[in-house]
């Protein structure tokens, strides 16, 4: 169908079905059965096999009436990863409940000694019959306390070079041997956690790909994470994800009586320019069928979003002036600007640091020489270690 026909159908369906008072689980099932939950996927997984751009049209129509439940084909990293690389059995078992919101997930990637260099991870998974026994520690894990599953990377073979001995699992979080400890952040929140794993188990049926073949799976999952971070950026304590854009700055400048200030107008235009270029790069990434190109462009988009967030926070601080130093309920504008400024650093770190993304762009787009890798072919267990 054409885009206009699609808009008309979604609007008609929402007019007939959407009620803000509908039970969340009932609404999720209704959206899934109608094929709006993951519009670009197959009907078995809550979709209608639409294009990515048409999936975004569906999302826009849902957002226009305040309806939830769509966009899992972009935002649900567990479902996206399993959809692309899982077996048919894994897809049938794991995707529908995740898309319907019946199960929640978290990311078990980073470790205290393996953040930017994820291939240096030391969490171990050892085969025991039909299960794997996992021991190790993860850090900076959002939603770990409420997750049913974790997307886990663990070392299953230390006798090969570090990138080759890693496996990717859908790890059950609600079991003995999993301890979650909140991390206190500069914003006053505790969105992230440390996760300690001691003799916990994950079924072999939850292994995505082959044993030792988890690095390519992780790269795909990271690409989805970077795309999501490029699409959305948290800019308020309310928990709603908003686009950091020129419109919000224009409204702020108008309220502060500074919209006619030529310097402020120029700074807002710079933000708008960054955002426009980022949109074009994102569209290009989604249009290509080359996964390497798409992952590289999404790395560029992740850097761009980080730059946009920092620039937006800087301009907002200029607009608000001294009030930006105030916080708390008695100073809502200053409090919001302070939060935006502090939280911008999260985007510079999460999903791979800006520095790592620049390395990816430098090597894969600009063709710059890679950094020396003297231990490229060294088995992981023989790598020099400070421990």
pLDDT tens digits for range 177-212: 999 999 987 777 777 899 999 999 999 999 999 999
Tell me how far apart the alpha carbons of residues 300 and 352 are, in angstroms, rounded to a whole number: 12
Residues 243 and 328 in one domain: yes
Is the pLDDT assigned to residue 69 strictly greater than 50?
Answer: yes
Distance CA 314, CA 103 (A): 38
pLDDT value for 335: 86
Same domain, 242 and 357: yes
Return the pLDDT at 246: 62
Residues 278 and 327 in one domain: yes
Q: Are residues 182 and 258 in the same domain?
A: no
Q: Are residues 359 and 248 in the same domain?
A: yes
Average pLDDT of the segment spanning 64-92: 96
Together in a domain, 270 and 359: yes
- Residue identified by tokens 């430098």 is 362
Residues 184 and 116 in one domain: yes
The phi, psi pair for 149, rounded to 5°, reads -135, 155
CATH code where residue 248 lies: 1.20.140.10
24 touches 62 (CB < 8 A): no
d(CA 310, CA 314): 6
State the CATH number of the domain containing residue 144: 2.40.110.10
Q: What is the mean pLDDT of residues 44-71?
A: 94
pLDDT higher than 70, residue 73: yes
Residue 305: inside a domain: yes
Least confident window among 54-58, 176-180, 296-300: 296-300
**99 assigned to some structural domain:** no
**Residue 243 confidence class, pLDDT cut points 50, 70, 90:** very low
Q: Is residue 307 part of a domain?
A: yes
Residue 217 lies in a domain: no
The residue assigned the tokens 């807002």 is: 268
- Residue 97 belongs to some domain of the structure: no
Residue at a domain's end among 53, 75, 97: 75
What distances in angstroms separate CA 173 from CA 66, 94, 184, one per listed residue? 31, 14, 21
Domain assignment of residue 156, given as a range: 105-212
Residues in a beta bridge with 195: 138, 180
Biggest distance spanned by C-alpha atoms of the chain: 70
- Domain count of the chain? 3
Q: Is residue 340 part of a domain?
A: yes
Shared domain for 208 and 236, answered yes or no, is no
Beta strand pairing status for 166-172 and 124-128? unpaired
Asked whether residue 150 is assigned to any structural domain, the reply reads yes
Looking at the domain assignment, is residue 84 inside a domain? no
Over the stretch 103-135, which tens digit does the pLDDT of each residue have? 999 999 999 988 778 899 999 999 999 999 999
Q: Check whether 385 has a pLDDT greater than 80.
A: no
Portion of the chain with pLDDT greater than 90, in percent: 61
Please tell me whether residues 300 and 251 are part of one structural domain.
yes
């Amino acid at each position: 169908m054409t885009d206009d026909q699609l808009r008309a159908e979604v609007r008609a369906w929402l007019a007939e079905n959407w009620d803000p008072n509908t039970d969340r689980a009932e609404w999720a099932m209704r959206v899934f059965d109608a094929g709006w939950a993951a519009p670009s996927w197959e009907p078995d997984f809550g979709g209608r096999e639409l294009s990515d751009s048409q999936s975004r049209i569906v999302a826009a129509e849902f957002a226009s009436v305040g309806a939830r439940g769509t966009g899992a084909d972009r935002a649900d990293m567990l479902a996206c990863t399993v959809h692309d690389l899982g077996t048919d059995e894994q897809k049938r078992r794991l995707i529908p409940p995740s898309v319907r919101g019946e199960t929640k997930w978290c990311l078990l990637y980073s470790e205290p000694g393996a953040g930017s260099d994820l291939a240096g991870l030391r969490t171990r998974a050892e085969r025991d019959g039909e299960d794997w026994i996992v021991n190790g520690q993860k850090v900076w894990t959002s939603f770990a306390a409420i997750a049913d599953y974790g997307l886990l990377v663990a070392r299953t073979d230390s006798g090969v070079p570090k990138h080759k001995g890693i496996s990717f699992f859908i790890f059950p979080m609600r079991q003995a041997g999993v301890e979650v400890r909140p991390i206190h952040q500069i914003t006053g929140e505790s969105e992230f956690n440390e996760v300690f794993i001691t003799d916990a188990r994950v079924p072999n049926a939850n292994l995505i790909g082959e044993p030792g073949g988890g690095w390519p799976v992780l790269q795909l999952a990271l690409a989805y994470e970077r795309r999501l971070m490029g699409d959305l950026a948290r800019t308020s304590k309310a928990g709603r994800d908003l686009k950091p854009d020129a419109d919000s700055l224009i409204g702020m400048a108008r309220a502060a009586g500074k919209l006619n200030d030529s310097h402020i107008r120029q700074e807002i235009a710079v933000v708008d320019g960054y955002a426009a270029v980022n949109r074009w790069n994102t569209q290009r990434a989604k249009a290509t069928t080359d996964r390497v190109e798409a992952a590289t462009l999404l790395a560029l988009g992740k850097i761009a979003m980080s730059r946009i967030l920092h620039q937006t926070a800087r301009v907002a601080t200029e607009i608000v002036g001294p009030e930006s130093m105030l916080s708390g309920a008695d100073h809502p504008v200053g409090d919001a600007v302070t939060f935006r400024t502090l939280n911008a650093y999260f985007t510079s770190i999460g999903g791979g640091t800006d520095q790592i993304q620049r390395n990816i762009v430098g090597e894969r787009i600009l063709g710059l020489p890679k950094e020396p890798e003297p231990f490229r072919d060294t088995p992981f267990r023989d790598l020099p270690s400070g421990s």
